[in-house]
Amino acid sequence: MIDFIFEKGLIYDGSGNEPYVADVATLGNKIEHIGQLDDAECTQRINVEGLAIAPGFIDLHTHSDFTLVANTKAESQVHQGVTTEVVGQCGHSCAPVCHPSEIAKVALGYIPGCEGVGWESFGEYLDHLDQYDLGVNVAAFVGHGAIHRMVMGDELRLPEPEEVDQMARLVHQAMEEGAAGFSTGLEYWPGIQSAPEHIVPLCEVTASHNRLYATHVRNRDRFYDLGFGEAIATARTSGARLQISHIQPKYGAPAHAMEHTLEMISAARRHGVELAFDVIPHDWAHTLVMAILPRWALEGGVDRILERLKDDESRDQIKRNRSPMWLLVADRLWSKIVLLNSRENPQLVGESLEEIGKARGNDPYDVVLDLLLEEGNDMHQLLWTSHAFLESDLELCLEQPECAVISDTLALAPYGDLATQLGSLSGYGWTSEFLNRYVKERNVMSLSEGVRRLTSLPAERLGLRDRGLVREGLKADIVVFDPDTIRSTWTVQQPRSYPTGIEYVIVNGRLTISAGERTDNDGGMVLRAPL
C-alpha cells in the first residue's frame, strides 16, 4: 500500500519546465507514482490543491559539520524545506584530525560536552553522523584547513613538497571514505598562506575521484581578478570541476568587478574549464571576526593569538594591517558591521561595532580585539555581518543559469545547546528570502527556474542522481509550499524566526513538516560519495 498521496498539487519538478497539476505518491523512501491517483489506496491522503510540490531543497554550501552533531534535527533547515545539505565548506571541516582533542580547534559551531565526540579520520566522522536519524541528508566535503593542520599544525611557513604529497594522500583517503568533494578557504588560516602549487596537487586528487572542488577565493575586493583568476587557474591545471562559493564581490571591489568576473568565467568555460558558482540570497556578508587578523598574528593557534591580543605593541601592529579580510575594517566603517554570534557577550548580538564602541567608551577596533580576547578559546565562534554586497551584483549572478543559491550557514535550533547560536542572518529563512524577494517580488526568474536553482542544479553539481527532481523512482525528498505566502521573517534584531509558507516536508519518505508543524520524524541520512 502507498504511504502518502499529495493530491492536486502544482508540480514544479525541479527541471525548470512549466509546472503541471498531478498527484504524487510515495512508498518507503521513494516516489512511487505521479499522475491521477483518485482510486489508489494509501495510508494518508493529503490535499495540496493550490500549493506547489517541489523536490526538497538542496543547500550546496553549509557549515553544519558540528551543529548536526550537537542537534541532529537540523530545525532551521527543515522548517524552510531543506532536505539535503553539504557541509565542509570554505576549507573548514571537523575531520580529519590528529587527535579528538583537536576537534574543538577546527569545528565551527563547536559545543563542548557533546556525546560520543571522538573521531579522527574523515570516515569516522561520517560514521558518527551515521548513528543518528538526521533531520536532513548530509553530504560532506573535506576541508583544506583540516588537511593542512594534520600535516603542519599552525606553523607559519609554506609546506615542503613532501608535505604537499602527504596532504594529497589525506585528501585521497577522505575521498575513499566518502567525501563528496574538497574545499578551500583562501582568506582563512591556514589557506591564506597556501599558493596554487600547494593546492593544485590536492585538486588533482579530487579530479581523479570526479568530485567537486569548492573554493572561497582569496580576494573579492580590490584584487578580485587575482582571486578569481587563481581559482580558475587551479581548476584548469588540475582538471577539477570547480564551484566558486558565494561569488559576489564585496566592499572595496570596483564597480565592474562582477561583470568582469563573469566574463572571466565565460572565457574559461569556452576553453574547457568545468565551473559554476553560487550566491547567498541577500546583501549581508558574514564571517569569522578572527579572519581579519594578519597571518603572523594567527601563527601558533589560539593560545598564541590570545598572548598577542594582550600585548599592546602587537595590538597596534594588528590595527595597522592595511589589508584585513574586510576593507570595511581598514576604512573604519564600524556602523556597517554588526555582531552576529558571541558566546561570552550574547547581549551584544545585533548591535553595530560603532554602538558597542560607544557603550564601552573605547575605539571600535580595540573593542573588536577585546571581544576576541573575551571569547578566549572559543574565538573562532565569534562572528559578525555587514552590508558588504551589492544587490545589482547579486541579481546579475542570478541571471546566469549556472548560478546556484546557498545559505553559507549552520543547521540550528532555537532551543537547547544551539539556542543562542547564529551562522548568518538568514539561517532560518534563506530559501524563502530567495523565492519571495528575488523570484516573486523582483521577478529575476520564474518560479520554475527558482526551484531548479535550489534542487536539480545543486544535485547535478554534486553528482546526486537520485534526488533533485520530482520523478518516479527517485528518493522521496519533497517540499510543499504556498507560492503566495512563502517569505522570510528574520530581521537583524530577531534572526531566529522560521519562514511562512512551508506546509509539508518529506525526507526519504518520512513526513518531517506536516501542515506547517514539525513532527518527531527525522528521515535524513549520510550521503557518502560516490553519490
Q: Which residue's C-alpha cell is 534526488?
A: 467
In SS3 terms, 468-528 reads as CCCCCCCECCEEEECCCCCECCCCCCCCCCCCECEEEEEECCEEEEECCEECCCCCECECC
% of the chain surpassing 90 pLDDT: 91
For the chain, give the mean pLDDT. 96
Cis previous bond, 530, omega within 30: yes
Q: Stretch 214-218: mean pLDDT, rounded?
A: 97
Q: Are strands 82-87 and 57-59 parallel, antiparallel or unpaired?
A: parallel
Out of 35-44, 106-115, 394-403, 447-456, least confident range: 106-115
Q: Stretch 70-92: mean pLDDT, rounded?
A: 98
Q: Is the pLDDT of residue 387 over 90?
A: no
Element (H, E) at 153: none
Structure confidence by residue, pLDDT tens digits, 392-439:
999 999 999 999 999 999 999 999 999 989 889 899 999 999 999 999
Closest-CA residue to 507 (of 81, 87, 126, 131) = 81
pLDDT of the residue at 114: 86
Domains of the chain in start order, with CATH, are 57-283+389-465 (3.20.20.140), 291-385 (no CATH)
Q: Stretch 482-490: mean pLDDT, rounded?
A: 96
- Using DSSP's 3-state secondary structure scheme, residue 172 falls into helix
Structure confidence by residue, pLDDT tens digits, 315-332:
999 999 988 989 999 999
How would you class 179 by CB atoms within 10 Å of its CB: exposed for 0-12, middle for 13-18, buried for 19 or more?
buried
Report residue 66's pLDDT band, with 50, 70 and 90 as the boundaries: very high
Helices assigned H by DSSP within 271-352: 295-298, 302-310, 312-319, 327-330
Q: Stretch 306-321: mean pLDDT, rounded?
A: 94
pLDDT of the residue at 417: 92
Q: Stretch 449-469: mean pLDDT, rounded?
A: 98
Closest-CA residue to 66 (of 115, 27, 24) = 115
pLDDT of the residue at 33: 97
Q: Stretch 71-87: mean pLDDT, rounded?
A: 98
pLDDT of the residue at 105: 87
pLDDT of the residue at 323: 86
pLDDT of the residue at 185: 97
Q: Is the pLDDT of residue 137 over 90?
A: yes
Q: Is the pLDDT of residue 115 over 90?
A: no
pLDDT of the residue at 363: 95
pLDDT of the residue at 397: 98
CA separation (Å) from 351 to 65, 154, 355, 357, 358? Answer: 27, 32, 6, 10, 11
Structure confidence by residue, pLDDT tens digits, 183-208:
999 999 999 999 999 999 999 999 99
d(CA 327, CA 325) in angstroms, rounded, equals 6
Task: Take residue 360 and report the three cell numbers written for it.
Answer: 564601552
Q: Is the pLDDT of residue 67 over 90?
A: yes
Q: Is there a contact between 68 and 112 (Cβ–Cβ < 8 Å)?
A: no
Structure confidence by residue, pLDDT tens digits, 267-300:
999 999 999 999 999 999 999 999 999 989 998 8
pLDDT of the residue at 428: 96
pLDDT of the residue at 56: 98
d(CA 201, CA 159) in angstroms, rounded, equals 12
Which DSSP category does 60 fall into? S
Element (H, E) at 398: helix 391-398
pLDDT of the residue at 113: 85
Q: Is the pLDDT of residue 49 over 90?
A: yes
pLDDT of the residue at 125: 98
CA separation (Å) from 421 to 40, 96, 342, 379, 430? Answer: 45, 24, 8, 14, 16
Q: Stretch 31-57: mean pLDDT, rounded?
A: 96
- Could you tell me which residues come within 8 angstroms of residue 231 by beta carbon, excluding any fewer than 6 positions away? 215, 217, 242, 244
Which DSSP category does 416 fall into? G
When computed from its CA atoms, the radius of gyration of the chain, rounded to whole angstroms, is 22
Report residue 20's pLDDT band, with 50, 70 and 90 as the boundaries: very high
d(CA 501, CA 189) in angstroms, rounded, equals 40
Report residue 179's pLDDT band, with 50, 70 and 90 as the boundaries: very high
Q: Is the pLDDT of residue 515 over 90?
A: yes
Q: Which residue's C-alpha cell is 561583470?
A: 259
Q: Which residue's C-alpha cell is 507514482?
A: 33
pTM for the predicted model, two decimal places: 0.96
CA separation (Å) from 314 to 99, 308, 436? Answer: 31, 6, 47
d(CA 204, CA 392) in angstroms, rounded, equals 35
d(CA 48, CA 52) in angstroms, rounded, equals 8
Structure confidence by residue, pLDDT tens digits, 228-253:
999 999 999 999 999 999 999 999 99
Closest-CA residue to 325 (of 275, 286, 362, 364) = 286
CA separation (Å) from 37 to 3, 13, 31, 46? Answer: 13, 18, 13, 12
Structure confidence by residue, pLDDT tens digits, 426-453:
999 999 999 999 999 999 999 999 999 9
Q: Which residue's C-alpha cell is 541571471?
A: 399
